[in-house]
Amino acid sequence: MPNNLWNDEEAAGLPDRDGLVYRSNILGLDRAVVNIFGGNTSAKLCMVDHVGREQEVLAVKASGSDVLTITEPQFALLQMDEIEPLYQRDEMSDEAMVAYLERTWFEQGRPRQSIETLLHAFVPHKHVDHTHPDALISLMCVEDAAQEARRVYGGRAAYVPYIRPGFTLSKWIGGMVRDNPTIECVVMGKHGLVTWGDDSKSCYESSMRIIQETEDYLADRRRGKKVFGELKVPGLSLQNREDILAQVLPVIRGAVSSRRSAILQTDSSDSVLHMIGSEKTSEVSQIGAACPDHLVHVKRQPFYVDWKPAEGADTLSDRIRQGIADYEERYVANFEDNKNPGDELRDPAPRVIRLTRARTSPTPMSAASCITAPSPSSAMQRRWAASSA
C-alpha cells in the first residue's frame, strides 16, 4: 500500500520550485512507487530571464538524478515557447531531439535533461509526475494490459503500449491528454504511470490515488490464490541462515567483483523466503524480464541456486563460483548476439542471487529471472536476496 507522505506543515509556503523538490523527494521515499534513478517529475513555472522578460519554463528532473535526493539545481530548466513547436512534428530521432533541447536551455550550467523531457512538455498541465509503481507495472505486464487498464480505471485513464522512451512516446502521451481533457492519468504498457495536477500536492495525491486503486484491484484478484504455488522449501532457522551466509557472502562478493567492487545486501524476509521456496518459483523465474525496470535493475535474469543444507557450505560456495562464471559467459554471449553499433559491454556479473534449498528432486543450478506474475509481490521482487549494489 503506498504511503501518502504529504505533510501540509512541511509543504506550507513552499514556492513552486521548492514544492517540486519536496514532491519529488517524498515520491522517492517509497521505492515501490519510484525505484532508484527511475521516473521523473516536472513543473511549468513563470520565471524572469536575464533581460527581465517573464517566460514559461519547464523545470524537469535531469538525467542521472534520483528523485529521493534531488535538489533544485539538479532540475534542467528549458524554455517552453521553444519546445512547444516540436509537438507539430511527426517524428524526431533521439539525437536530433537531444541536440534541439540543448538549445532551449533557460539557464546555463544546469544538468542535461532526460530522454523523457518532452513527455512532461507535451502534457498540458502545470505539474507532471512519471512514476514506476510496482503494482501498476505488474498489471501492465500482462498479456492484455489495455483490457486490464479498462477494468481498473474505466474511461479515467488512457493506455499506451510499450515503446522505447523518446519523441514518439512523448507525443502519444501528450496527444492523449490533450484530446481527452477529462482523463486522470496515462498508464504505460510495461513502463509506468503519468499523472498531473494544478499544484504539487494535487499531482502527488493523484499518483497515490491511482496506485492505491491498482493495488486494491490486484489484492482482490489475488485473494485465495497462491501466486507461486505451494511452499515446498521452508526457510532455515535464522541462526542457520546467518551461519551459511557468513561463509558464502565473501565468496559471492569476490565472484561478482572481478570488474568492479560490489557491496552485498541480503534479504531474508518472510515474503522473499516464501517466493524462493515455492513450487513454481524455478519455473516462473525462467520466463525472462517483463519490463525495462527488470533489465535495468536485475539484468535479463538473476542467478538462482538450488542447494541442500546437507551438502554443506563448501559445496554451495563451489556452485556459486561456477554458477557466476557460467552466468557471465552466457551474459557476454547474449550481449554479442544482440548488440547494436556503439553498445558497450558492462559488468556481466549477476545483480541478484537467490539461494534456496533444493527440491525433493533437485533441478540443476540455473539462471533465473525476476518473478513477473501480476501481484503486489512486485515490491518484494526488487529487494535483493544477495546482490551487488
Over the stretch 256-302, which tens digit does the pLDDT of each residue have? 998 888 888 888 888 888 888 888 877 777 787 888 888 888 888 88
Q: Residue 301's pLDDT is what?
A: 83
Adjacent-strand bridge partners of 128: 42, 196
Q: How confident is the model at residue 380 (pLDDT cuts 50, 70, 90)?
A: very low
Q: Is the pLDDT of residue 375 over 50?
A: no
Identify the domain boundary among 192, 222, 252.
Answer: 222
Q: How confident is the model at residue 372 (pLDDT cuts 50, 70, 90)?
A: very low
Dihedral class, residue 113 (left if φ above 0, else alpha if ψ from -120 to 50, else beta): beta
Residue 229 falls within a domain, yes or no?
no
At CA 254, angle to CA 316 and CA 380, rounded to 5? 70
Residues 141 and 47 in one domain: yes
Q: Is the pLDDT of residue 360 over 80?
A: no
Q: Residue 357's pLDDT is what?
A: 55
Mean pLDDT of the chain: 86
Q: Is the pLDDT of residue 334 over 60?
A: yes
Residues 136 and 248 in one domain: no
Mean pLDDT for the stretch of residues 214-236? 85
Q: Is the pLDDT of residue 234 over 90?
A: no
Q: Which residue has the higher pLDDT, 184 or 236?
A: 184
Q: Residue 258's pLDDT is what?
A: 86
Q: Is the pLDDT of residue 308 over 80?
A: no
CATH number of the domain residue 138 falls in = 3.40.225.10
Residue 2 falls within a domain, yes or no?
no
Residues 75 and 163 in one domain: yes
Q: Residue 1's pLDDT is what?
A: 60
Q: Residue 287's pLDDT is what?
A: 80
Tell me the C-alpha distance between 18 and 13, whole Å: 9
Residue 227 falls within a domain, yes or no?
no
Mean pLDDT for the stretch of residues 321-341? 93
State the cell numbers at 165.
522512451
Residues 214 and 266 in one domain: no
Tell me the C-alpha distance between 122 and 360, whole Å: 56
Residues 284 and 186 in one domain: no
Residues 190 and 58 in one domain: yes
Q: Residue 179's pLDDT is what?
A: 97
Looking at residue 205, what DSSP letter applies?
A: H
Residues 164 and 209 in one domain: yes
Residues 43 and 136 in one domain: yes
> Of 210, 164, 214, which is closest to residue 189 (Cα–Cα)?
164
State the cell numbers at 187.
498508464
Q: Residue 191's pLDDT is what?
A: 94
Looking at residue 311, what DSSP letter applies?
A: G
User: By percentage, how much of the chain surpasses pLDDT 90?
Assistant: 64
Number of C-beta neighbours around residue 86 at 10 A: 20
User: What SS3 class is residue 368?
Assistant: coil
Residue 3 falls within a domain, yes or no?
no
Sign of CA pseudo-dihedral 186, 133, 354, 280: negative
Q: Residue 362's pLDDT is what?
A: 33
Q: Is the pLDDT of residue 366 over 60?
A: no
pTM over 0.75: yes
Mean pLDDT for the stretch of residues 131-160? 95
Residue 251 falls within a domain, yes or no?
yes
Task: Say if residue 33 is exposed, middle or buried (CB neighbours under 10 Å; 0-12, 13-18, 19+).
Answer: buried
Residues 157 and 18 in one domain: yes
> Of 272, 263, 330, which is closest to residue 301 (Cα–Cα)?
330
Specify the range with the lowest mean pLDDT, choosing from 10-24, 75-89, 342-356. 342-356
Residue 230 falls within a domain, yes or no?
no
Q: Is the pLDDT of residue 385 over 50?
A: no
Residue 233 falls within a domain, yes or no?
no
Mean pLDDT for the stretch of residues 48-58? 95
- Where in the sequence is the domain holding 17, given as residue range(s)? 8-222
Q: How confident is the model at residue 371 (pLDDT cuts 50, 70, 90)?
A: very low
Residues 21 and 167 in one domain: yes
pLDDT tens for residues 85-142? 999 999 999 999 999 999 999 998 999 999 999 999 999 999 999 999 999 999 999 9
Tell me the C-alpha distance between 132 and 143, whole Å: 19
